[in-house]
Amino acid sequence: MILAVVVCVLAFSKAAVALDNGLMRTPPMGWLAWERFRCDIDCDNDPKNCISENLFRDMADRLAEDGWKELGYVYVNIDDCWSSMDRDNNGRLQPDPKRFPGGIANLARYLHDRGLKLGIYGDLGTHTCGGYPGTTLDKIQTDAQTFADWGVDMLKLDGCYSNASYQEQGYPLMTKALNATGRPIGYSCSWPAYQGGLPPKVNYTLLGEICNLWRNYGDIQDSWDSVLNIIDWFFDNQDVLQPAAGPGRWNDPDMVSQEHFTLMCESDSIIPD
Ligand SMILES: *[C@@H]1O[C@H](CO)[C@@H](O)[C@H](O)[C@H]1NC(C)=O
Ligand SMILES: *[C@@H]1O[C@H](CO)[C@@H](O)[C@H](O)[C@H]1NC(C)=O
Ligand SMILES: *[C@@H]1O[C@H](CO)[C@@H](O)[C@H](O)[C@H]1NC(C)=O
């Protein structure tokens, strides 16, 4: 099953400054592992579904060979649970050696050869939500450089195991660190989801200046109720959310499946009562 990251364009508003990395002038589209495959790391018993380089290669093949790429679905995004539990001797993140034996740079090459882009996941805090090594403030530059060296095209930076002041410092620092690598890397910030998604805690003007994309609200789950709950929240708060979006800066209602997307964006009448 193909699940796609879809950012519903709530509106194109004029003015407002966007993160100046030239990326995501239109909403990014692609595939993200979490909603379906979660933190399944049991490759011995569940080789088809575990978080491994094989899973991402398979998905890349599907996007490239089944017509998705032509429609714009070019991002193949790794979520949590990809890394080793330990950083390497130089303090750099490294993939789990058993599940990603070829390394992330090889995986990126595989995608690039097919005209696709690779997204990866990090967490601003002591640990990722799944308990893997997080990006503490002192590791921001190292991790940005590691991702750039690997040829990564997009970073989702989650916010588990940190706090409000940490996030206020860390999210803009990562913007600078990514820029300093010289590699254009799309930057997806989970920050507002940790601030309740709305002003006055969330400053959408600032987010538009430092992130290409941001998670406003809770994770989507594998259920219709969850999809409707998210749609309702975006509907209720559209007056705040709409002006925040524009080329290079997007609200992200979280990955939704292609079927969900079709229903959400094309036909109100299909949505069940
Ligand atoms: C870094 O920022 C500068 C100034 O905002 C911009 O011109 C440049 O394209 C950025 N580079 C990358 C790799 O994002
Ligand atoms: C936030 O987290 C940092 C790093 O763990 C810690 O030093 C700081 O005291 C925390 N601040 C609050 C208000 O809890
Ligand atoms: C929001 O961020 C913008 C841009 O950094 C800043 O100019 C503005 O003062 C901030 N607004 C609030 C209410 O803090």
Predicted confidence (pLDDT) per residue in 163-199, tens digit: 999 999 999 999 999 999 999 999 999 999 999 999 9
Class of domain 29-260: alpha beta
Question: From the CA of 20, how far away is ligand 1's center (Å)?
Answer: 6
Beta pairing partners, 32: 77
Q: Which amino acid is at 236?
A: D
**Pick the catalytic residue: 79, 158, 252, 254?**
158
> What whole-number distance in Å separates Cα of residue 35 and Cα of residue 9?
21
Strands (E), 24-93: 30-32, 75-77
| C-alpha of residue 172 to centroid of ligand 1, in Å | 14
219 is annotated as an active-site residue: yes
Q: Is the CB of 17 under 6 A from ligand 3?
A: no
| Test site for ligand 1: of 145, 175, 179, 187, most ligand atoms within 8 A of the Cβ | 179
In the reported structure, the alpha carbon of residue 163 is separated from the centroid of ligand 2 by a whole-number distance in angstroms of 6
Does 268 participate in catalysis according to the annotation?
no
Q: What is the pLDDT of residues 19-29, one digit of tens each?
A: 999 999 999 99
- Give the Cα separation of 250 and 80 in Å (integer): 22
103-120 tens-digit pLDDT = 999 999 999 999 999 999
Ligand nearest to the CA of 23: 1
Q: Which two tokens stand for residue 81?
A: 């649970």
Q: Which of 256, 272, 267, 273 is nearest to 73 (CA)?
A: 256
pLDDT averaged per 10 residues, the chain (length 273): 44 68 95 94 98 98 97 97 98 98 98 98 98 98 99 98 98 98 98 98 98 96 92 96 96 66 38 34
Which amino acid residue places its CA nearest to atom 3 of ligand 3?
A: 206
| H or E element, residue 37 | helix 34-37
Q: What CA–CA distances, in Å, run from 258 to 88, 91, 110?
A: 38, 39, 24
